[in-house]
Amino acid sequence: MIKEVARKLLKLVNVKSNIDLLELYMNHRVAVLHKQMEQARDLDELRQTQGAIKELRRLSTLRDEVITGAKDEN
Task: Locate the domains of the chain by residue range.
Answer: 3-69
Query: Quick one: pLDDT at residue 1?
Result: 85
**How far does the chain reach from its first CA to its final CA, in angstroms?**
10
Structure letter (DSSP) for residue 14: T
Give the Å distances, CA to CA, from 71 to 14, 21, 22, 26: 14, 25, 23, 26
pLDDT digits (tens, 9 = 90+) for 22-72: 999 999 999 999 999 999 999 999 999 999 999 999 998 999 999 999 987
Structure letter (DSSP) for residue 7: H
Give the Å distances, CA to CA, from 2 to 40, 47, 70, 74: 36, 29, 8, 9
